[in-house]
Amino acid sequence: MAPWRSLPIIFAFLIPLLGAWPAIAQDDDDVDYQRDPATIRQDIQSWSQRWNAEHERKVGEEVAREVDKAYGLVDWPEQMQRVTEIVNRLAKVSDRPNVQYDVGILDTGIPNAMAITGGYIRVTRGLLDMVQSDDELAGVLGHEMAHNTLFHGLRQAERDAKWQKWEMIALLGILVGAGLSGDAGVLQSLDLVTLSMFARMGVLSSYSRRYEHEADWTGLRYTHEAGYNATGFYTFMERLMSYELTNQVVLPRDDPGRKWDSHPLTTQRLAEIRSYFSQQGLTFNRAAVCDGFVATVRQSEVAEGLRVWEVLFHNQVVYQLSSEPVGGQSPGERAQSIADRINSLVQRRGIDVPSLGIRKSSGVITLHGLACINVDEVDAKLLGMSVPDYTDAVYKAFRSAVYAAERTSRDGL
């Protein structure tokens, strides 16, 4: 049975709340939202006086119980400890530090996360399998926590007095934007009568778009202030968008069901997330939060009886060294020195294809304008090449390896 197929009616609220409502579909992600922390904190004080924390927790507990029953919870102690520690660290710097968070891992391979009003946060097995670092996981959890601290569920519920009691509970429980970007598979489990009923309720997706942007921006602040690298939220969301496209999670724009589809990730939303770094003066460093952006060394047999040291990046050979010592260093020591230089620059400055440079005539490969590989004549002779020609070959190999690392970080391939 498909993982969403057996879910109770409560999950149907993800569809209209996140969906692209026809009357405003052309607006896409072009919505205004609050970014100023001081103003946000004032608003939170006002909302805290409006809604009773005990009631909020009680409603969330009821909904969380239904969610856990629908999916089942995974007994995964190591990951539970990991998630809990990150949530606690984020909570200390959040705008509602007194909220006691309850976390759980849902038993589905679909990568997703949800915030339930009252401090309940759920992540899936699939999400934990997809994240490549604690920084990425912290970015996701910061986003979900922001939904809770900003009272998104209660604010949305207040907008429409037409909700019945059971509908209100469901809406309060599954926040606007509860899933990171939604799942079109939900549509397959709902009949058209149900969909049309939700449509008549008139819940507009502009609210969900604004709330998603608010949660993105505020969650990035929590992530950074908790000491995590906020780049991780961008890289994970970028990979999630690739996953959705590869697995056809997002319905085509001409699909009749798209009007009820969960709000998809878009390049514009990613660009908005990326803008956080320039506006806050933060360094965007993909290499610091994703797998594979590391230089290593090994000794390989390139011909019978001939073993040489190699420098690799993303497990691809970028430089081969002669077996002769140079400047008092053995080949192994030289190889490690090159790898250490690359890794030091990558961790401090990051790396992408445009950041690589070449000084062909002098035999230098640069990263952000700084020398990272100095091609030695004895190494060029190993391959029967001149220094300029070997430098060009090394540059191309390095570019290819960096491109492969970037692709892995985006697509998880």
339 and 222 in one domain? Answer: no
Stretch 276-285: mean pLDDT: 93
Residue 121 falls inside a structural domain: yes
78 and 138 in one domain? Answer: yes
pLDDT digits (tens, 9 = 90+) for 232-275: 999 999 999 888 888 766 544 444 334 333 444 678 889 999 99
pTM beyond 0.85, yes or no: no
Residue 35 falls inside a structural domain: yes
Which residue, 347, 306, 259, is CA-closest to 24?
Answer: 259
Stretch 319-323: mean pLDDT: 95
Q: Which domain holds residue 377?
A: 295-411
- Domain ends where: 238, 254, 288? 288
pLDDT digits (tens, 9 = 90+) for 105-155: 999 998 989 888 889 999 999 999 999 999 999 999 999 999 999 888 777
Write out the two tokens for 384: 């029967």
145 and 226 in one domain? Answer: yes
Out of 78-82, 176-180, 302-306, 326-330, the most confident range is: 78-82
Residue 132 falls inside a structural domain: yes
Calpha distance 252→249 (Å, rounded): 9
Res 15: pLDDT: 28
Between helix 231-246 and helix 205-225 the angle, nearest 10°, is: 140
- Domain ends where: 288, 316, 345? 288
Res 375: pLDDT: 97
Stretch 296-312: mean pLDDT: 91
102 and 25 in one domain? Answer: yes
217 and 88 in one domain? Answer: yes
Residue 3 falls inside a structural domain: no
Mean pLDDT lowest for which of 18-32, 305-319, 320-334, 384-398? Answer: 18-32
Res 259: pLDDT: 39
> What is the amino acid identity at position 193?
V
Calpha distance 369→38 (Å, rounded): 39
Residues with Cβ within 8 Å of 246's Cβ and at least 6 positions away in sequence, in order, are: 411
Residues with Cβ within 8 Å of 315's Cβ and at least 6 positions away in sequence, in order, are: 292, 296
Mean pLDDT lowest for which of 2-6, 80-84, 245-249? Answer: 2-6
Res 329: pLDDT: 94
208 and 333 in one domain? Answer: no
Res 11: pLDDT: 32
| Residue 97 phi, psi dihedral angles, 5° rounding | -65, -15
Calpha distance 33→214 (Å, rounded): 6
Q: Where are the beta strands (DSSP E) in 195-265?
A: none
339 and 280 in one domain? Answer: no
Res 384: pLDDT: 94
pLDDT digits (tens, 9 = 90+) for 346-389: 999 999 999 999 999 999 999 999 999 999 999 999 999 999 99
Residue 28 falls inside a structural domain: yes
Res 140: pLDDT: 96
108 and 30 in one domain? Answer: yes
Between helix 134-149 and helix 205-225 the angle, nearest 10°, is: 130
Give percent above pLDDT 70 in the chain.
Answer: 75
Residue 296 has pLDDT above 60, yes or no: yes
Number of domains in the chain: 2
Higher pLDDT, 379 or 305: 379
Res 202: pLDDT: 34
Summary count for the chain: helices (H), strands (E): 15, 9
Res 59: pLDDT: 80
Which residue, 73, 85, 263, is CA-closest to 186?
Answer: 263
Residue 4 falls inside a structural domain: no
DSSP secondary structure of 119-150: TEEEEEHHHHHH--SHHHHHHHHHHHHHHHHT
Classify residue 263 by its DSSP letter.
P
Q: Please provide the average confidence, as pLDDT, over all residues in the chain.
A: 79
Mean pLDDT lowest for which of 21-35, 67-81, 259-273? Answer: 21-35
The Cβ of residue 205 has, within 10 Å, a number of other Cβ atoms equal to 26
Residue 13 has pLDDT above 60, yes or no: no
178 and 52 in one domain? Answer: yes
- Domain ends where: 288, 312, 328? 288
Classify residue 356 by its DSSP letter.
E
Residue 205 has pLDDT above 70, yes or no: no
Write out the two tokens for 85: 């520690």
Residue 191 has pLDDT above 90, yes or no: no
279 and 205 in one domain? Answer: yes
204 and 310 in one domain? Answer: no
60 pLDDT tier (thresholds 50, 70, 90)? confident
Residue 2 falls inside a structural domain: no
Calpha distance 42→366 (Å, rounded): 48
Residue 59 falls inside a structural domain: yes
Report whether 260 contacts 203 (CB < 8 A).
no
398 and 278 in one domain? Answer: no
